[in-house]
Amino acid sequence: MNLRGRHVLVTGAGGGIGRASALKLAAAGCRVTLVGRRSGALEETAALIGADAQVAPADVTDAEALAAAIATGQGRFGPVDILVNNAGAASSAPFLKTSAEDLRAMLALNLEAPATAARLLLPAMLAAGWGRIVNIASTAGLKGYPYVSAYVAAKHGLVGLTRALGLEVATKGVTVNAVCPGFTDTDLVARSVEVIVGKSGRDPEEAKAALFASNPLGRLITPDEVAATVLWLCGPEASAINGAAIPVAGGEL
């Protein structure tokens, strides 16, 4: 796939799906702005890409910081053609122990931050008559899971936002899609394993097996498998894919 010269901004680019997506898009010819809270991890991703990458550290839940990071990216590489909203996290607790603050935190990171990034970048895409927005949601945006109600609600919201915005821009040369990974081999899932171990006393391997059980493949999804779907959605062959929520989950859904 040739996306030479396109400018992509990836949030949560310090590891996992964000890093894998940045690497695949860079290999397709994109110039990449890497956004996230962990400067060191972003620098590691940038080093893997080379001169076509730049680091713009920011907490995506801080609208002013996110706008500043975007301005940094545009200052060097010009308008952003592709937005990959990957930054996210999950908190785990029974619903009756999930506070209003917990819910707001999940909504701020997993729903409001992607909406803010899209709001900031969409005008230039519309002016250019071409753009791609890819939201990294989750199978939690398509089904329920116990003990992560705030996360599930936020990811359902992100899928809804994707579908609605995709319809608004359908005739403008811009597509908006969501990728919905199942349990993926990332730091987020590693932390989930730690929580299971801490609360249940299970062996870490037993805790991993409990997560594998939901996937018919009997294993975790890899970041590269998710990133391959992101790359496809950004290419010209996917111009008719819009407002979709695509599971990458081995048949779980």
Torsion of CA 102, 36, 80, 122, to 10 degrees: 10
| HSE (side-chain half, CA atoms, 13 Å) at 54 | 16
Contacts of 205 (CB under 8 A, 6+ apart): none
What are the backbone angles phi and psi of residue 25, rounded to the nearest 5°?
-70, -35
Tokens at 115, concatenated: 């909406």
Quick one: which H or E segment has residue 204?
Answer: helix 204-212
Catalytic residue from among 151, 177, 179, 188: 151
Computed on alpha carbons and rounded to an integer, the radius of gyration of the chain in Å comes to 17
Helix axes 204-212, 187-200, angle to 10 degrees: 120
Catalytic residue flag (residue 145): no
CA distance 68 to 70: 5
3-state SS track over 147-169: CEHHHHHHHHHHHHHHHHHHHHC
| HSE (side-chain half, CA atoms, 13 Å) at 203 | 3
Tokens at 82, concatenated: 């592709």
Positions annotated as catalytic residues are 151
